[in-house]
Chain A
Amino acid sequence: MDDFSIDKVVDTRGSLCPGPIMALIEAVKLADINTVIEFFFEDEQSVKDASLWINKVGNQLLVNETVDGYFRIVVKKVK
């Protein structure tokens, strides 16, 4: 069981353009501080890019896992 509750879900699967990372940045940017957002990605490269950006900006990556062949990450906006 996760010890946090998800405030928003963004499913980027099937998104070609504007693309998964654009969707992630937009969602995090528009969220209030302390919001917890769950993202679903189709490809591993997006997860790598997402983690890179989250660390660069200084937000928290709470979960990074593979579920049934796709990828789930959970981010907490702290900055």
Chain B
Amino acid sequence: MVTKIVIVGGGSAGTITANLLARNLYKNITSGKVIINLITDSPDHIYQPGYLYVVFDKARPEEITRKQKDLLDPHINLFIDPAVNIDRDNRVVVTKSGREFDYDYLVVATGSRIVPEDVPGLQEGSYWFYDMQSAIRLREALMNFNGGKIMISMGIPHKCPVAPLELTFMLYDFFKQKDMLNKVQLHYTYPINSVHVLEPVSNWAVREFERKGIKYDTFFNMEEIDPVKNVISSMEGDKFGYDMLITIPPHKGAQVIEDSGMGKNGWVPTDKKRLFNANYENVYVIGDTTDIPISKAGSTAHFQADVVAERLTSIISEGNTSIEYDGKVVCFLESGFDEATYIWFNYNTPPNPSPPSRMLHWMKLGYNRLYWLTARGIL
């Protein structure tokens, strides 16, 4: 009997899982007992945290892009053909070209996507940096910015909860380097009544904002943008004018999730420790697309991929497993161009940011390169 594993989504979570499984199950694969099929929708794999560096001209697009096939163990079958339906009852994934992939175990790793169209006026009035094209567009706009007020605002949910702060602190250093701080007012807004969801991070960021003269407002959930008058309004009734608006649009999960009836807005109900889909123990869900109340981050995707690869390896080779995900997330957070801080937490341990340092900044830069080893399942 052949055991078929299908992984949908070739981003961080899907790629790491596939590579770890290929290594763990090498003998089963070469003897024809296990098949791993990875279905994704792009030939390129982009290291998304790199977008932030593209904005400030500190990384070129090609530096943060690799061919997906070059990242995969040769024992994995790669199909660049988006999934259009996932039928969990009949254990089959159907792709755009009409191919059907049946499976014994499925790993759903389709990530999240921005939906700027959900906020009226956002597409016309705002810059963002959550895909390559928009990061390049923002880079050009910043190069040509002559001064004025820059508003930074975000929708919920969004992936990478540290990115808004990183962007703000990097904007500060960008204008400092250009001797433009006297001409630029940065104004940061946040959806809840602190400047970050994690209280220790928020306390630290407020001190930094005050020291740097960065204005901030809380309980600000963007409702509408007037791209002609350059005004952003919130659900809470506040209105602010701006010269440049940079946002993180709200996110949803992949369309295929909703189309397959697997979860509203593309978020799949997931067991927070064992990482399978409610009622379908052979369907694992990892990375941004889970509905687990935890950061949508690359490190979350990475640690969950480790757990699912180990679980599947044990189940396939020994028939059982006790391995669980403890909610671990690790994030480096740039506090400007030269320094970074670092947080880690899990389901039971709250974060405690370390003081920003140059060394942590170098570690983040180092990890930006080492990511390619992580994706290959080596680090």
Residues on A facing B (Cβ under 8 Å): 12, 14-19, 21-23, 25-26, 29-30, 49, 52-53, 56-57
Question: A30 — which chain B residues lie within 8 A by C-beta?
Answer: 265
Question: A18 — which chain B residues lie within 8 A by C-beta?
Answer: 156-157, 161, 197, 293-295
B293-A12 in contact (CB<8A): yes
B221-A17 in contact (CB<8A): no
Of the candidates B221, B235, B236, B294, the one having the most CB atoms from chain A within 10 angstroms of its own CB is: B235
Residues on B facing A (Cβ under 8 Å): 156-157, 161, 191-193, 197-198, 219, 221, 235-237, 265, 272, 293-295, 327, 329, 345, 347, 350-351
B192-A49 in contact (CB<8A): yes
B198-A16 in contact (CB<8A): yes
B236-A22 in contact (CB<8A): no
B192-A22 in contact (CB<8A): yes
Complex A-B: 9 CB contacts under 8 Å: A16-B294, A16-B327, A16-B350, A17-B198, A19-B293, A22-B191, A49-B192, A49-B193, A53-B219
Number of A-B contacts (CB under 8 A): 67
Classify the interface of chain A: helix, strand, loop or mixed: helix
Question: B272 — which chain A residues lie within 8 A by C-beta?
Answer: 14
B347-A14 in contact (CB<8A): yes
B293-A14 in contact (CB<8A): yes
A25-B191 in contact (CB<8A): yes
Q: How far is the CA of A14 from the CA of B326 in the complex (A)?
A: 12
Q: How far is the CA of A57 from the CA of B233 in the complex (A)?
A: 13
Q: How far in angstroms is the closest Cβ of chain A from B130? A: 16
B219-A22 in contact (CB<8A): no
Q: How far in angstroms is the closest Cβ of chain A from B266? A: 12
Q: How far is the CA of A19 from the CA of B200 in the complex (A)?
A: 13
Q: Given A25-B191, A52-B193: A17 and B294 within 8 A (CB)?
A: yes
Q: Which A-B residue pairs are the 7 nearest by beta carbons?
A: A15-B293, A19-B197, A21-B192, A17-B295, A26-B156, A17-B197, A56-B236
Cβ-closest chain A residue relative to B272: A14
A22-B156 in contact (CB<8A): yes
Q: How far is the CA of A56 from the CA of B295 in the complex (A)?
A: 26
A19-B347 in contact (CB<8A): no
Question: B197 — which chain A residues lie within 8 A by C-beta?
Answer: 17-19, 21-22
Question: A12 — which chain B residues lie within 8 A by C-beta?
Answer: 293
Cβ-closest chain A residue relative to B162: A17
Q: Given A14-B293, A25-B191: A56 and B219 within 8 A (CB)?
A: yes
Q: How far is the CA of A55 from the CA of B339 in the complex (A)?
A: 39
Q: Which of B156, B293, B327, B350 contacts A29 (CB 8 A)?
A: B156
Q: Given A21-B193, A49-B193, A56-B236: A16 and B347 within 8 A (CB)?
A: yes
B295-A53 in contact (CB<8A): no
Question: A26 — which chain B residues lie within 8 A by C-beta?
Answer: 156-157
Q: How far in angstroms is the closest Cβ of chain A from B197? A: 4
Cβ-closest chain A residue relative to B191: A25
Q: How far in angstroms is the closest Cβ of chain B from A52? A: 7
Cβ-closest chain A residue relative to B264: A30
Q: How far is the CA of A23 from the CA of B193 in the complex (A)?
A: 13
Q: How far is the CA of A52 from the CA of B219 in the complex (A)?
A: 10
Question: A56 — which chain B residues lie within 8 A by C-beta?
Answer: 219, 236-237
Question: B351 — which chain A residues lie within 8 A by C-beta?
Answer: 16-17
Question: A52 — which chain B residues lie within 8 A by C-beta?
Answer: 193, 219
Question: B295 — which chain A residues lie within 8 A by C-beta?
Answer: 17-18
Question: B221 — which chain A residues lie within 8 A by C-beta?
Answer: 25, 29
Question: A23 — which chain B residues lie within 8 A by C-beta?
Answer: 293
Q: How far in angstroms is the closest Cβ of chain A from B343? A: 9
Q: How far in angstroms is the closest Cβ of chain B from A73? A: 16
Question: B156 — which chain A residues lie within 8 A by C-beta?
Answer: 18, 22, 25-26, 29
Cβ-closest chain B residue relative to A53: B219
